[in-house]
Amino acid sequence: MADDFITQVNEEMRAQRLRAMARRFGALAGGVLVVAAIGGGAWAWSSHSRHEAQRVASARYFQTLQTLADPKHDKAATDRAEAAFADLAVHGPVGVRAFAAMRVADMKMQAHDTAGAVQSWQSVADDTKADQGLRGMARYMLLNAQTNTADPKTLRAGYEALAQENGGPWASLAQEGLVALDLRPGSTDANHQEARRLLTQLANSDTATAGSRARAQALLETFGDAG
């Protein structure tokens, strides 16, 4: 049961991640097209330069995405795309670099390079200038990728921190991460009681996603068989 629950959570996570990135990068792409008429010599030129750098980086990001969207692209094209994203992740302007780093992490995971993905997600989580939603996403992905390898106490602390961000886009999935920890093989009755409490909270939450509420309710209905 716990394995099925984790699989469903991962599917929800992937869908939510794509929606969040689409919304946030859509806003970014729209913003870089708006250049206000600002007087003031050097200040105006500096502002123009920043907008231009953002525009160029955004264009490069989307062009690279289009390359990967081509069903005929080969490994060489994939490698070039990853290199472009990696360069943007390090040298790109604020905003674009975080999106690029998230793409690098995705590609690392597809190549079964978990360590590389973790490093890329960590760079976003640590970037104080990155969008807060993206930082939360990176934090969640870090925890999710290390579910079977990291110290459970470390995972629990990380999930709890995200879950406490009431209304945050990753709060409900973080709570599900806590449930998964409490239903691990070898868990105690106290763990199961805590899982039941969290599931009840999720099932009745006004801010959790519909998927989270449905999974919580379904697991509660069969919770007597969970241990």
pLDDT tens digits along 53-72: 888 998 999 999 999 989 88
pLDDT tens digits along 121-167: 999 999 999 988 889 999 999 999 998 888 999 999 999 999 887 66
pLDDT tens digits along 1-31: 444 544 555 555 555 554 555 454 444 444 4
Indicate the pLDDT class of residue 208, thresholds 50, 70 and 90: confident
Q: Dihedral angle at the C-alpha atoms of 157, 200, 210, 8, nearest 10 degrees?
A: 60
The letter for the amino acid at 30 is G
pLDDT of residue 175: 92
pLDDT of residue 223: 73
CA 117, CA 164: separation in Å to the nearest integer? 25
Q: What is the residue whose two structure tokens read 């993905």?
A: 117
Angle (CA) 208 221 137, round 5°? 25
pTM for the full predicted model: 0.72
Q: Give whole-number Cα distances, 193 to 1, 187, 200, in Å.
A: 16, 10, 11
Tokens of 190: 């106290």
Q: What percent of the chain has pLDDT over 90?
A: 51
